[in-house]
Amino acid sequence: MEKTLVIIKPGTIQRGLIGEVITRFEQKGLQVCGVKMIQLTDELLAEHYAHIADKPFFPRVKAAMKATPVIVLCLRGMDAVHVTHILAGATNGREAAVGTIRGDFSMSVQWNIIHTSDSVKTADAELARFFREDEIFDYKQSYLEYIYSEDEII
């Protein structure tokens, strides 16, 4: 089973949507196997957003991501990266489909509720960036056989 990273962003925390967001993932059948609240630093943001660090809008992104602490989640499940990305919806909340997290709670690109990993390779790197090995837990969900068929459980 795959693991992936989700960052619950400051705007979501300010709006009191933490539980709603986590509930969406759990209701889908994804397992929370790591969760913590952290304050992002300039260094961590420069590493995480290295692909846009030279863009003129990066200071605005950095300021938004440091407005409050964030919550980082490690989610586990079959095709977790893809499923999480679909549940999140389009990056621009105004373009995200109704029923997705961004489609239901966001009107913005800047304040788009969550970050999700976009590939297995990225998820592995991002999880290593935000979690130590001893902060991610492997435990059996008692209801796993009601989420996946017997041949899907690994």
pLDDT (tens place) for every residue of the chain, 154 residues total: 999 999 999 999 999 999 999 999 999 999 999 999 999 999 999 999 999 999 999 999 999 999 999 999 999 999 999 999 999 999 999 999 999 999 999 999 989 999 999 999 999 999 999 999 999 999 988 888 888 888 887 6
Q: Which of 48, 51, 85, 115 is catalytic?
A: 115
Q: What is the pLDDT of residue 111?
A: 93
Catalytic site includes residue 48? no
Phi/psi of residue 100, each to 5°?
-85, 165
pLDDT of the residue at 154: 64
Residue 16: per-residue pLDDT: 97
Output the pLDDT for position 143. Answer: 85
Cα gap 110→118, rounded to integer Å: 18
Considering the four listed CATH numbers 3.40.50.970, 3.30.70.141, 3.40.50.2020, 3.40.50.1100, the one that applies to the domain covering 2-146 is: 3.30.70.141
Residue with tokens 């960052």: 7
